[in-house]
Amino acid sequence: MTKRPSFRDRLRERQRLLGTFVKTNAFQLIEVLGTTGLDFIVIDAEHAPFDRSGLDTLMLAARSSSLPALVRIPGSSPDVILGVLDLGGTGLLVPHVRSASDAGRVLASTRYTGNGRGFSNSTRAGHYGKLGMSELVTVADRETVVIAQIEDREAVECIDSIIAVRELDCLFIGRADLAVSYGVLDIYHPVVTDAVMKVCQQCHAAGKPLGIFLADGRDIEYYEKLGVTLFVIGSDQSFLRAHATTLREDFQDLKA
């Protein structure tokens, strides 16, 4: 029987992957998204109100739907990282990685080998004790995904050293925070475009997987040509708002 590739395998092979942000603490949304064929979701614990109990329920829904669930963490302290991974998260989207040392500290907290991640197999990640120590350590260290958000001027200036962190699975461009970091208020400002191009070119040259957030799918083809393979498009809330707005506009047009 052929082993199904893990999400980390697919990411590192630079397969085309499509996901969205989840910003609402409702397990039903995860179940709905699990029926759509999306490759993954990102639960946004940085900008949306998720506590550990809420994440626990959403992770259960993701597992039951066979939908890989990354978590954009609110901070990179070892206890935050441990909590997400023990709940069964596929991996982390880590905000504001500004240097190779930042990336290294996060990676250390995600790996059992090297004694950076506290061990317990009584968690969902350990199948509530079903996985023995050796199996859990092997599987977790092999399959846990770590994606570094590049959203600061400092990160762009030392992008080569961040790319060179071998265990880092992917870089992820955040244009909005890049704009703020450069002191502009437009994601299409030339200074932001230049920074994005630099990251894309360096990742492509190094063969490093690269992702980006887009509000909608109109620019997917453009960024694919620049080497981006992982796309986070919109969010559960933006989908709802867009569809409701379109419905209302169509309703008004019928009246006219």
Averaged pLDDT, 177-191: 98
Q: Out of 47, 96, 127, 243, which one is annotated catalytic?
A: 47
Return the DSSP state at 72.
E
Rounded to an integer, what distance in angstroms lies between the CA atom of residue 115 and that of residue 86?
A: 15
Active site residue 47: yes
User: Is residue 128 within 8 Å of 122, Cβ to Cβ?
Assistant: yes
Instruction: Give me the residue label for tokens 């200074």.
Output: 191
- Give the confidence band of 202 by pLDDT, cuts at 50, 70, 90: very high
* Lookup: tokens for 85: 């991974």
pLDDT tens for 2-47 read 578 999 999 999 999 999 999 999 999 999 999 999 999 999 999 9
Averaged pLDDT, 134-151: 97
Pick the closest to residue 200 from 169, 154, 156 (CA basis). Answer: 156
Q: Give pLDDT, residue 256.
A: 66
Could you give the residue ranges of the DSSP H alpha helices within the chain?
7-12, 27-33, 52-64, 78-86, 100-110, 133-143, 153-157, 159-163, 175-181, 190-206, 220-225, 236-255
* Lookup: tokens for 129: 């004790």
Domains of the chain: 7-255 (3.20.20.60)
- Give the confidence band of 255 by pLDDT, cuts at 50, 70, 90: confident
* Lookup: tokens for 190: 């030339």
Residues 6 or more apart from 108 whose CB is under 8 A from it? 114, 116
Q: Give pLDDT, residue 67.
A: 98
